[in-house]
């Protein structure tokens, strides 16, 4: 099972801005019903894509300054995708795991099994 990192003011830079992999930050709050539904979807995505994606959670009520500094989050849940320390994509609202993956797939490294087979032109002619 892939680890879902709990973000705070102390680990934001190391976990998000310096992440070697793209990192999806799930912005949530304890009072938010859809956030509770989103949590298992995000955790399942972390398990499925752990080799090419990191996943983290940020309680926006506990650390509002982090969200305000990087994105205009006005709907919960909202997922923020950071690539090389930069905000690359925002996904507002509840989304199932496969919908989240569809949204962020263009930003993730392709798997070897997803690449077309290598062929030699000389062998075909």
Please say if 79 is a catalytic residue. Answer: no
User: Cβ-count burial of 57 within 10 angstroms (0-12 exposed, 13-18 middle, 19+ buried)?
Assistant: buried
Which residue is associated with the tokens 């690449």?
115
32 is catalytic: yes
**What element of type H or E holds 70?**
helix 64-70
Look up residue 59 and give its two tokens. Answer: 């309680």
Point out the catalytic residue in the list 2, 21, 29, 32: 32
Q: Which of 16, 25, 35, 101 is catalytic?
A: 35
Hey, which residues are catalytic here?
A: 32, 35
């Amino acid at each position: 099972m892939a680890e879902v990192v709990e973000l705070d003011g102390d680990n934001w830079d190391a976990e998000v801005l310096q992440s070697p992999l793209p990192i999806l930050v799930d912005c949530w709050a304890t009072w938010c019903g859809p956030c509770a539904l989103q949590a298992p979807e995000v955790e399942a995505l972390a398990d499925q894509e752990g080799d090419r994606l990191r996943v983290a959670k940020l309680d926006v009520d506990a650390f509002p300054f982090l969200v305000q500094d990087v994105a205009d989050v006005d709907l919960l849940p909202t997922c923020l995708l950071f690539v090389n320390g930069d905000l690359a994509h925002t996904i507002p609202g509840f989304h199932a795991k496969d919908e989240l993956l569809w949204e962020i797939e263009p930003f993730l490294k392709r798997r070897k099994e997803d690449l077309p087979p290598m062929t030699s032109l000389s062998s075909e002619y």
